[in-house]
Amino acid sequence: MDRLDNTVRPYAWGSTTAIPTLLGTEPTGEPQAEMWMGAHPGAPSRTGRGTLAEVVDADPERELGAASVAKFGPRLPFLLKLLAAGAPLSLQVHPDLAQARQGYEDEERRGVPADAPHRNYKDANHKPELVCALTDFDGLCGFRPPAETADLLDGLGVASLKPYVDLLRAHPEDAALREVLTAVLTADPEEMSRTVTETAAACERLGGAYRPYADIAHHYPGDPGVLAAMLLNHVRLQPGEALYLGAGIPHAYLNGLGVEIMANSDNVLRCGLTPKHVDVPELLRVVRFEAGDAGVLRPEASPDGEEVYDTPTDEFRLSRYVLPEGTGVHDLTLPTPQILLCTAGTVRAGEHELRPGRSVFVPAHEKAEVSGTGTLFRATVRV
């Protein structure tokens, strides 16, 4: 197995302290948002044999296993991250596989440059993702029932919100959600900015359930995404709890440290809370206007101590082992590629000693014995 040397991405929304605290390093004062573990071309992990992308490219069947290559092609199908949000990320959705292929082919046919700021589809793949909290973790996930949002907005006492309140109380619910999101994102920018400013002031004054939206507005004053965010379920994950974000589900991470895993794609359609391009027609084509709860996931334990976060996605499978003192050796050998990440304690993986934030890549069929005391996340695929 290969010890991984991973890149930390300094996105502006990143926490300045969460990842350094986990790693036991001194903060630099700059945001440290995401640490990438995988073979993504944007920041592939480094090994003693070259970058992980180079290692996989040199012999895909040996590194990934024949079954993974047959199902997903000669590339690592997932990207594992440590994600540390110190401020809200953009409100966004991801396409399903058919939408991604169609969108990518359309933009390629029209000659939209790959690095164009208005380009929606960087590749032809979908991007389901899962985030598991390591600390208290705040996020937005999926539409809450429209009648509940109507009551929430009505309670603010902001006159310019009344048209949205009335729409949200109409039926059917999916049409109400579509109409309100469309109205928010296509409103006159100056009028919307005034409405958001009044809404933010009311949220600040009332606190309680309104507090998360006051905080969002503090980071994105006047942004229509603040109202779009109020259509969504606010959820606070406890350590060990997770959220699964399937295609078309609007979401945003607000604050906290977590382990994130996703299919290897860059396809994002934004709804707000960002200076980047918002393609409203394409967004409305992709969003699933379905109300429900946020769907908090808790791991399912197996007899060997593996705790699995079950999702419908084949490109990744995330689980963890919480290893108490004196549990002996666990054999984690699989016929599929693995990345093992320590998040607490000290875990020995083969010849490597892993402390928090350290990780290894395990090729398919490679012997993978672990021992020690701590928490170990395991990322692999379903074949």
Catalytic site residue from 144, 270, 358, 378: 270
HEC assignment per residue over the chain: CEECECEEECCCCECCCHHHHHHCCCCCCCCCCEEEECCCCCCCCEEECEEHHHHHHHCHHHHHCHHHHHHHCCCCCEEEEEEEECCCCCEEECCCHHHHHHHHHHHHHCCCCCCCCCCCCCCCCCCCEEEEECCCEEEEEEECCHHHHHHHHHCCCCHHHHHHHHHHCCCCHHHHHHHHHHHHHHCCHHHHHHHHHHHHHHHHHHCHHHHHHHHHHHHCCCCCHHHHHCCEEEEEECCCCEEEECCCCCEEEEEEEEEEEEECCCCCEEEECCCCCCCHHHHHHHCCCCECCCCCECCEECCCCEEEECCCCCCCEEEEEEECCCCCCEECCCCCCEEEEEEEEEEEECCEEECCCCEEEECCCCCCEEEEEEEEEEEECCC
Per the annotation, the verdict on 110 as an active-site residue is: no
- Show which residues are catalytic: 270
